[in-house]
Amino acid sequence: MEGQDGYGRPIVGPVSDGDKTPAGPLDVGQPGRTVVIQLRQAISLIERFPALAGVDLTVSEGEIVLLRGPNGAGKSTLLRLCAGLAPLNGGRGEVLGHDLSSRRERRELRRQTGLLAHATFLYDELTVEENLMFWARANRLDEASVEPVLDRLALANRLRHVRVANLSAGQRRRASLAVLVCRRPRLWLLDEPHAGLDVNGRDFVDGLIKHAVAFGGTVLLASHDFDRAAEIATRTVIVAGGQVQETDPAGLGGSPEGRMARRPPVAPAPYVAPPPRWGHEPDDSPPPDPGAGSPLVGRPPRVEAAGSRLGGRATADPPRPSRAAIDGAAGNEAVADPAPEPAPADGEGDGSGTGRSGPPQPPAVGAGPGSRWRGRRRAPAESG
């Protein structure tokens, strides 16, 4: 049951001869990147209703995949399935190297994912700070990591001592985001992340997503704010009737209206998004130290290396930005790479490393042989 994806990469599917699961067409991940999510004919039931009725989806590390579809299409259930919360009742699924059909592995998976759901995941009777402290302890995180997150999300002053019950909807969303950031997940699952937020908050979410990806994260988001979400997404997946109806494998504009511009995948190596700050005030904080991690996203939790049973490759040490990449993001001249790969011919990046219009084309620092980076930039011939 092998074939090739759109890049000529072999697809290694369910290999068991006795496997009765129909292997539908796979989405195309990013070549050379670790597969983070791989679903084949995945079925998930809510009571007896098939919220997901045979989903095929592959997401590679460093991708920002936008799930688009009408209400009730199954987007939220898909996110919950990838978080290890919804059961896999049929088909096959593997996320971050964890088999979704195993209850034990789903428990392991949950620690590495972060879900921003419709529910706030906050205790109304506790203050913002108490909530963050509790969830930091529950997630075995250093309590000292809470303070920078409160600061970055503009929760450090007046709002930190306010009970969640007394917050506005947007402020609650902000507090939920703070908890999510504290978790430092490898896989960000965002269900309507822009909902209820003002323009500052939406800009912050966009910056956070780019920042997370720059620090080795992968993002799957569902949003009805399509114009905004499409700006940052590297791929759009249409979900309807509990199935993936359409996919836009290389950012070619898969929306029916053709509104989505061509968008090269975000290359995590050469681009370090500055840590976002809530609001529009000038941010004079230094660029993140790759050794210490981002003040927001930080170092993703280390996971044990494990081969994917569905063909993906798990990583033992997620990619980290190089010093040169940070210099580039800070506006300094990046250290020249001895053998830079060609930038995508169709790239929209302006080279500043800070704009929304896609990644810049700096030298592919660290992408050469022996680099810790697993990803490689697409050659022009591969793109499209």
Partner 1 sequence: MTVKDLRIELTSRVVMAQILPFGLLILILFGLAISPDLVVVGDARRPVIEEIAPGLFWLTVLLSALMALGRAFALEADDGNLDALRMAGLDPAGVFLGKALAVTVQLVAVETVLGFGAFVVFGAPVARPGLLAATVLLATVGITLAGTLYAALAAGLRVRDTLVPLLVLPVLAPVLLGATQASRDALFADPGVPGWSWAGLLAVFSLLYLGVGMLAFGPLLEES
Specify the stretch interacting with partner 1 by CB under 8 A; choose among 43-51, 110-118, 152-160, 308-316.
110-118
Closer CB to partner 1, 37 or 233, in the complex: 37
Residue list 144-183, contact with partner 1 (CB under 8 A): 163, 179, 183
Q: How far apart are CA 219 and CA 212, in angstroms?
A: 8
Q: How far is the CB of 82 from partner 1 (least distance, A)?
A: 12
N-terminal to C-terminal alpha carbon distance within the chain: 25
Specify the stretch interacting with partner 1 by CB under 8 A; choose among 126-134, 260-268, 321-329, 370-378.
126-134
Three-state DSSP class for 188?
strand
Closer CB to partner 1, 163 or 313, in the complex: 163
Q: Could you say which of 7, 9, 50, 111 contacts partner 1 (CB under 8 A)? A: 111
Residue 103 touches partner 1, criterion: CB under 8 A:
yes
- In sequence order, which residues have a C-beta less than 8 Å from that of residue 333 and are 6 or more positions away? 327
Q: Are 186 and 300 in contact (CB under 8 A)?
A: yes
Q: Could you say which of 43, 83, 187, 208 contacts partner 1 (CB under 8 A)? A: 83
Q: How far is the CB of 251 from partner 1 (least distance, A)?
A: 30
Angle between helices 169-183 and 128-138 (to 10 degrees): 30
Q: Are 343 and 361 in contact (CB under 8 A)?
A: yes
- What ranges make up the beta strands (E) of the chain? 2-4, 10-12, 35-46, 49-60, 64-68, 90-95, 98-99, 113-116, 187-191, 218-222, 235-240, 243-247
> Could you give the residue ranges of the DSSP H alpha helices within 187-315?
199-214, 226-232
Residue 356 touches partner 1, criterion: CB under 8 A:
no
Q: Which candidate, 109, 57, 371, places its Cα nearest to that of 238?
A: 57
Closer CB to partner 1, 172 or 376, in the complex: 172
Residue list 177-216, contact with partner 1 (CB under 8 A): 179, 183
Q: How many residues bind partner 1 (CB under 8 A)?
A: 30
- In sequence order, which residues have a C-beta less than 8 Å from that of residue 130 and are 6 or more positions away? 123
Q: How far apart are CA 64 and CA 68, in angstroms?
A: 13
Q: Could you say which of 12, 46, 53, 134 contacts partner 1 (CB under 8 A)? A: 134
Specify the stretch interacting with partner 1 by CB under 8 A; choose among 34-42, 132-140, 236-244, 342-350.
132-140
Q: How far is the CB of 135 from partner 1 (least distance, A)?
A: 7
Q: How far is the CB of 85 from partner 1 (least distance, A)?
A: 6
Closer CB to partner 1, 131 or 234, in the complex: 131
> Could you give the residue ranges of the DSSP H alpha helices within the chain?
75-83, 103-110, 128-138, 146-152, 169-183, 199-214, 226-232, 323-329
Q: How far apart are CA 213 and CA 209, in angstroms?
A: 6
Closer CB to partner 1, 105 or 203, in the complex: 105
Q: Could you say which of 21, 89, 101, 120 contacts partner 1 (CB under 8 A)? A: 120
- Residue numbers at the binding site for partner 1 (CB under 8 A): 83-85, 103, 107-108, 110-111, 113-115, 117-126, 130, 134-135, 138-140, 163, 179, 183
